[in-house]
Structure 1
Amino acid sequence: MELSTFQKGLNKDNPYDFSALKAVFLNCTLKKSPELSHTEGLIKMSDAIMRANGISTDIIRPADHQIAFGVYPDMTEHGWDRDDWPAIQEKVMAADILVIGSPIWLGEKSSIATLVIERLYGFSGEMNKQGQYAYYGKTGGCLITGNEDGIKHCAMNLLYSLQHLGYVIPPQADAGWIGEAGPGPSYLDKNSGGIENDFTNRNTTFMTWNLMHMANMLKNGIPAYGNQRDKWDNRETKDHPNPEYR
């Protein structure tokens, strides 16, 4: 992805050190590699900005892997013969930034994006060293492409899901591009106007910088006071215990 003159200038004059950060992009296209993914085309703009600022990045297509359905960390322990998700989960946990990219189908994020959220959810009960939920101290965003309306709808769903799992969502943590309603050119197609779209380029740039800034601010994590699961579970006084379901 060739960045614009202004984007390159931001990288060149950047006074911040992001070199300790890692980012993972999960491209939830329905296409296997090496088939052209328009969602990955937009992802590569954000990826190029991060890499230009010293961030280690990894773009993963879940469609290239055999990922089991379910909400447990390793579904081979629950009847599946194979599950590639645990290896992806390791990369997610090693990263400070997670960006989920998705095309729009029937006004919704892709089925693979739903699968990814479910598998991320399967790990959300794990704890970090501070006794907080595992995703605390990480930051998340999303990128959306398509030929139909739904950017904000998909973004709301994805960003809510990420924050519910424990991710911190910075300001303007989503961006996207859609063509005219109905069949037509996609983001990377000739004369689509996607790559040149100033609105998309601006929002993708702002999203990327906000993710980098927030991740840098969170390098020492979120203070572990008032949010530790074990202290809640082991409290001496339980004024309002959960009801017993019969």
Structure 2
Amino acid sequence: MNDTGDLPDDLPDFNGLRALFINCSIKHDPAQSHTRRLINRAAGVMRDRGVDVEIIHALSHTIAFGMEKDQTVNGMADDWPGIHAKIMEADIFVIGTPIWLGVKSSVATLVVERLYAYSGDRNAKGQYLYYGKTAGCIITGNEDGAKACAMDLLYAMSHIGYTVPPQADCAWLGEAGPGPSYGDPRSDGGHEGYDNDFTNRNTTFMSWNLMHTAKMLRDNDGLPAIGNLPETWQQLTNAKDQDPEAD
């Protein structure tokens, strides 16, 4: 510890970890995306600690609708298989979305659906595909709904196998109704949200907790393949053998 007792003398680095952020803004120009600006802050924290970070703007790609893993088999243009390959290379996966009518963007819904199309696949241990990886989410908007969007996204990613650490979301909300969005210029020369300590604190917490969790998972070869394999769950202590009427 240092002289103040507040921080370790040597902060950990996370060299070798890879993080992928996917920006589900409905703006086609990434430079105009308010969500991208908050993504940049989380990505900056991770890059500063040695994480290899990539940010994908979903609408810069053609992502087909449907539950096929590769919709080119149905004659559709589809960049998703290449995007999914990058997701599988990443230890950390973060979905960023704006809020529209109180819910995540339609682009974010599409991304979750396409992730789910692979949910029956297995990793090298025989677990579902996303086991051993960690996930979080970033929300921006000028209306209510940040916590509802985070609950939606974090549940979906946990359900398909991602490990969700504590406080794995961050958000910025402007005043309710039409008004400034994250990063919009202010009359005082500043930018909306940039100096908001609540948002900056939670973005920092999310970034560090994702890095800590990803490193723990990597260092321990993910989750043990015991009690979570579809073929063998009844061969060990399991719920089916327990007495539902027990006191």
- TM-score, length-scaled by structure 1: 0.87
Specify whether residues 11 and 233 from structure 1 end up closer, same or farther in structure 2 by C-alpha distance, changes over 3 A only.
same
CA contact (8 A) 2:181 2:192 kept: no
C-alpha change, 1:206 and 1:14, in structure 2 (3 Å) is: farther
Asked if 1:30 is matched to 2:29, the reply is no
Shift of 1:11: 11
Other structure's SS at 1:128 match? coil
Corresponding residue for residue 193 of structure 1 = 192
| Aligned residue type for 2:121 | E
For the aligned residue pairs, the C-alpha RMSD in angstroms reads: 2.1
2:46 aligns with 50
**How has the CA–CA distance of structure 1 residues 133 and 198 changed in structure 2, closer, same or farther, with 3 Å as cutoff?**
same
CA distance in 1, matches of 2:36, 2:90: 19
Q: Deviations over 1:106-153 (max 9, x none)?
A: 000000000000000011111001000010000000000001000000
Distance 2:9 2:198 in 1: 23
The alpha-carbon deviation at position 193 of structure 1 amounts to: 3.2
1:226 corresponds to:
227
Q: How does 1:163-178 map to 2 (within 5 A)?
A: 163-178=158-173
Partner-residue secondary structure (3-state), 1:163: helix
Asked if structure 2 preserves the Cα contact closer than 8 Å seen for 1:68 and 1:80, the reply is no
Paired with 1:61 and 1:136, the residues of 2 have a C-alpha distance of 25
Q: Which residue of 1 aligns with 2:15?
A: 19
The Cα shift of 1:14 comes to 5.0
Matches within 5 A, 1:1-246: 14-77=10-73, 79-191=74-186, 193-219=192-218, 220-232=221-233
1:12 Cα offset (Å):
10
Equivalent residue of 1:229, what SS? coil
* 1:173 Cα deviation after fit: 0.5
Q: Work out the CA distance in 2 between the residues paired with 1:14 and 1:115.
A: 41
The 1:11/1:121 distance shift into structure 2, 3 A limit, reads farther
Which amino acid is 1:41 matched to? R
Q: Distance in 1 between matches of 2:195 and 2:159?
A: 34
- Tell me, yes or no, if the aligned pair for 1:11 and 1:49 is still in contact at 8 Å: no
* Post-superposition CA distance 1:164-223 (Å, at most 9, x none): 010000000011001001111110101253111000000000000000000000001100
Q: Number of paired residues?
A: 227
Change (3 A) 1:100 1:14: farther
Checking the alignment, whether the CA contact within 8 Å between 1:28 and 1:102 is kept in structure 2 is yes
Given that residues 70 and 119 in structure 1 are in contact (C-alpha distance below 8 angstroms), is that contact kept between their aligned partners in structure 2? yes
1:35 Cα shift? 3.9
The CA deviation at 1:20 is: 1.3
For 1:117 and 1:228, the matched residues in 2 are separated by 23
Whole-angstrom CA distance in 2 between matches of 1:13 and 1:45: 24
Gaps of 5+ in 2: 1-5, 242-247
User: In the TM superposition, what is the alpha-carbon distance from 1:232 to its structure 2 partner?
Assistant: 4.3
Counterpart CA distance in 2 for 1:34 and 1:135 is 27
Contact 1:11–1:53 under 8 Å retained in 2: no
Unaligned runs of 5+ in 1: 1-9, 241-246
1:36 to partner: Cα distance: 1.0
- Where does residue 5 of structure 1 map in the other structure? none
Percent identical: 56
Q: Residues 208, 57 of structure 1: CA spacing in aligned structure 2 closer, same or farther, 3 A cutoff?
A: same
